[in-house]
Chains A and B, each alone.
Chain A
Amino acid sequence: MNWMLLLLLLPLAGAALVAFMPEKSARQVATLVTLLCCVPFLAMVGQFDWARSGVDQFQTTAVWFEPLGLSFRLAADSITMLLVGLTVLLGPICVVASYTAISERQKTYYAWLLVLQTAMTGVFLARDMVLFYVFFEFTLVPMFVLISLYGSTNRKYAAVKFFLYTFTGSILTLAGLAYVALEAARANGFWSFDFEALKTAARGMTFDQQKWVFIALMVGFAVKVPVFPFHTWLPLAHTEAPTAGSVVLAGVLLKLGTYGIFRFALQFTPVAAYEYAPALAVLGVVGIIYAGLICWVQSDIKKLVAYSSVSHLGFCVIGLFALNGVGLSGSVMYMINHGLSTGALFLLIGMIYERYHTREFKKLGGLASQMPVWSTFMVFFAMASVGLPGLNGFISEFMCLLGTFQAGGTTWTEFGMIPGRFGDASLLPGATFGNLGPWFAAFAAVGMVVTAIYILYMVGKIVWGEFKAPGHSAHAHNHAKGHGHDNHHGAAHADHAHGPLPRDLSGREIAVLVPLAVACLWLGLYPSPVLRTLEEPVAMVVTQVRADVLRNAQAALPADPQTADAHTPALLQQAATITEPGRR
């Protein structure tokens, strides 16, 4: 029983089914299908060998397009399992959260949401580069449909900008992948886009080639993450998307970019990644602080949370480019945690929007008095987002910062002396090989303060203080806020300012938030099972990067024995005997 194929095909079948069902039952079918998806995932969890979490398991191969060497290849290692788990968790949550938000053209909505689920799962499971690219690109279409049909006022522009920006970036990624495939074809004599084959070929490229391939690959992923100068699509897309769209965008789609960096940019072009780590980390830190400052001056809550995504993912990026065990593990954890907490924040904002049809700070305030349950969840997830110890955000943020801090040293490792960039961190105990250092961590930590400022400011204004909401000050709130769907709510709003929904959260809404809250709490208090599963794949990547950097450094050493370091013969000997653990 191929659980991965089932995970991919089930939502597609569900989408087809929804297309033929009557409008009323579309949401039930969608809920059922997304809940059913948990079954193959749990089966995979059961069958996965957690002791060898770095090895690709459940490998599935089929021929797709022979003349180009494309194959349909799926596999899962622990990182994939975690991210697929996030997707599978957010699937039913998004569907159930949309029950009241979408009242028109429901079939189209749920069908595309299910297709999006397949596409996202496929990205994480794919082990053929073109297949990865296919799923990566294919997430654009459902998102485009969801934003442009069901979004708020500026949805057209947001959807088009999102699509074009991301598409442009990923075309350049495709060019990079095609180049790597070309190198592999030259080395092997036949064309294949298999991940392992391409990885071997890519790591064998010269530094100049790796440099350009790295830039090409990073352009696409940097737009997706988004890294600082390429982030302008995100606030627009997030604010204009419907609630479930924002949740899945922030929760999973942004992780496609960071996953891509982890899986491809770092593993295909390790030497170039090492060389450019400072540059990328600078962009990350700028993103953290700049986006954080913008959050502080926002007047729209959703936009605030959207910019906070940019800020948070800056931490993820610097963790990735720390290129050590702590940083990479922290970065992967960050992906999961950010998905959980920011997804929940968007859900909460969506619930407010359904009731009061506004997201402005000026119009909302002191909701704790009217909506205590909502407020509890709001504070909880806001604290998770800030990084309060005890909740999940703290673990990942701390690990990313620690990894960055440590990654500076000129260090002696079992591979010999590996040059670092910002020298004196080598004197610190625990410093690892890497190209970043304490300064990066220091600036990023400033970002932590900024995060706290804007989150607390937001929470303070909205949750506490004097109660104000539209409909209590003015009865006729303007429907010109504009939904993508109809204004039936207008008639029903005659007596309740918060529409047909209960004043506080309904049972369904609580049911949607509870799993996220439980996950946040559990990952905050007891993250070690997850961290343990991450050890092996992260160690594999770190070892590969170190080995390649050392090999590159050796190649650049002068051959003259007089000027060479006294330890060079030993280094060369060690370099010759490098074997990478994890290759079985």
Chain B
Amino acid sequence: MNNVIAQLWPEIALFVTTCLVMVVGLSKDRGTRKLCAPISAIGIIVAGYLAATTSVDTATTLPFMAKYGKVLAAGVGLLLLMLMAGTADRQLEDAVDRGEKFEPLRSTRAEFYAFFLFSLMGLMLCAGASDLIFLFLALELTSLPTYVMVALSTRRDRSMEAGVKYFFLGAMGAAMFLFGFALIYGATGSTALADVAYTIQNRAAGTGSIGPLALTGLVLSLLGVMFKIAAVPMHFYTADVYQGAASSVTAFLAFVPKCAGFFAIMLLVGCAGWAFGPDGYGSGTALPPELRILLWTIAVLTMTVGNVLALLQTSVKRILAYSSIAHSGYMLVGVIAGPGPAESTLASNGLAAVLFYLLTYGVMSVGTFSVVAALERRRRATAADAAIDEVDHIDELRGLWKRQPHLAAVMVICALGLLGLPPLLGFLGKLPLFTSALGAGEIVLVVILGLNSAIAAAYYLRLVSVPFLESGEPSTPDAVVPTPFPSRALAGVVAAVLVVVAGLAGGTLGSHAERAGTFRFPTKTMEATRHASQPTSTVSVPPDAAERGPNAR
């Protein structure tokens, strides 16, 4: 029991913060209400610190992923929190400023930050999941709050519509992977990931295939989780939901469910995969052929559909939505590549490459979304609260270089990073995907990855060059002005600085990812370890109660 609690200190810290935030956000005093964000920040920092110092290796095939995943969640979560300033309750607070009474029933600030923290908590739980049921709970805890966050993000109909779409499709995805988990349980007789992995791979070693029930279960679970990462064919919600939600929430969606999804995918594929190398069981080079074909097709489709459809968009958020689909595709290449031979480094361990890419992608996507989030469209020459809307169309970014040069610089750096231009961080994230996939023999996939990066260059170049163009005609009734929340721009600047600096000196980050991606083949001893870490009763029972038992009263 204590071992289990020891794994959960970061999440417990976040949970306590959530409780605080839920109460503080409803206080009558304006100053106390505004403490929601700082309290959340402190909570995330504490959670990150606890994750870095007290993490326990999980008894799964990816034992070191928990610590890396939790610290990653805390780090990028902090950047996302900086973006969230002013998303909830902006009109309400302006009304209070004008003298109206604060009505807690109409306020959404407490819930918003609480859901933010809940979702981050779910992400951390996902990273440390060692059981199918645990994994399901964690995935649901990650996504359910995001449905509400999307619906609450603006007061316009489109975010409500986006929230409903997201909810229905997300529920369908959840049902799919739950069914898959059930089938996996049916095939292996256990829900612990270590046991599942051991059983499936043993059966595969004995009979040559992993069995139809386990395969169906794995395929269904993977398809359900593909919804989270917005892979084709489960990507249809992405553009509308990303566009309908407020930009800060979109940034959240672009990172957190994707991260959770990839943790889940790596754990699930780890149950079956990378045991069928040319040297036989345990050589660790290839997936079972059915899974490989499925993942290969999904990866290629995802990359291509994401990139090609992004070329046609005129809305910045939709471009970034399709680009995030494409990046999911790139990361699936790493999943297919697998952990490589034993003692593999970042360059040959596809799973480590995926974990590192999640870090680079998270930082860069925060940067690009922060530029959109830090701007708003306001009717010219009107009262302060009149008709504020989000910046969405790409032409609204024109002339940004003159008006807000720091935002233009952030957009340029982060878009070039997403493109994969060296020496920025994005290139360092993409290179291990190349090398690990080549090491696994996936040459065609690498060529497709390269060509897709080139296609992506077309729309990233648009994002890069638009801020340098002259502004549109001043005859439009709207002016694009910065939002009154400086932390949004600050998040972008921090992200851009990280992209440049870590691109030049990010060796330690890479080595952490390398360690996190270490794949441990399921063995009997691992099973024994898991049993040992299970809650054994440390309670001393009075002798007479033990004889009679709890029912003998």
B-contacting residues of A (Cβ < 8 Å)? Answer: 63-69, 130, 133-134, 137-138, 140-141, 144-145, 148-149, 156, 159-160, 163-164, 167-168, 171-172, 174-175, 178-179, 181-182, 185, 190-191, 212
Contacts and interface: CB of A to CB of B under 8 A. Distances in A.
Given A159-B465, A175-B450, 7 more contacts: A68-B510, A69-B345, A167-B453, A167-B457, A174-B431, A174-B450, A178-B446
Contacts of B507: 63-67
Interface of B: 345-348, 352, 416, 421-423, 427-428, 431-432, 434-435, 438-439, 443, 446-447, 450-451, 453-454, 457-458, 461, 465, 468, 504, 506-507, 510-511, 513-514
Contacts, number: 103
Nearest to A133: B422
Contacts of A66: 507, 510-511
A164 B422 contact: no
Given A66-B511, A175-B446, A149 B457 contact: no
Contacts of A148: 465, 468
A68 B438 contact: no
9 contacts: A66-B507, A67-B346, A69-B345, A134-B422, A138-B422, A141-B421, A167-B454, A178-B438, A182-B439
Contact residues of B: prevailing secondary structure: helix
Contacts of B421: 137-138, 140-141
Q: Which 8 A-B pairs have the closest CB atoms?
A: A67-B510, A67-B346, A168-B454, A134-B422, A171-B450, A191-B347, A178-B434, A66-B507
Nearest to A169: B454
A65 B510 contact: yes
Nearest to B462: A160
Contacts of B513: 67
Contact of A185 (B348, B434, B447, B453): B348
A187 to B, nearest CB: 13
B432 A68 contact: yes
A192 B348 CA distance: 12
Given A133-B422, A182-B438, A191-B348, A141 B416 contact: yes
Contacts of B447: 172, 175
Nearest to B511: A67
A138 B424 CA distance: 10
A67 B514 contact: yes
A149 B464 CA distance: 12
Contacts of B422: 130, 133-134, 137-138
A181 B345 CA distance: 13
Given A134-B422, A185-B348, A164 B510 contact: no
A182 B435 contact: yes
B428 A144 contact: no
A172 B504 CA distance: 23
Contact of B345 (A156, A159, A174, A191): A191
Contacts of A181: 347, 435
A171 B449 CA distance: 9
Contacts of B510: 65-68
A164 B347 contact: no
A230 to B, nearest CB: 14
A63, A156, A175, A179, most chain B CB atoms within 10 A:
A175
Given A134-B427, A138-B421, A178-B438, A69 B454 contact: no
A369 B122 CA distance: 81
Contacts of B511: 66-67
A185 B434 CA distance: 14
Contacts of A171: 450-451, 453-454
Nearest to A148: B465
A178 B431 contact: yes
Contacts of A65: 428, 506-507, 510
B347, B421, B457, most chain A CB atoms within 10 A:
B347
A462 B92 CA distance: 72
A165 to B, nearest CB: 9
Nearest to A177: B434
B360 to A, nearest CB: 12
B422, B458, B506, B510, most chain A CB atoms within 10 A:
B422
Contacts of B439: 182, 185
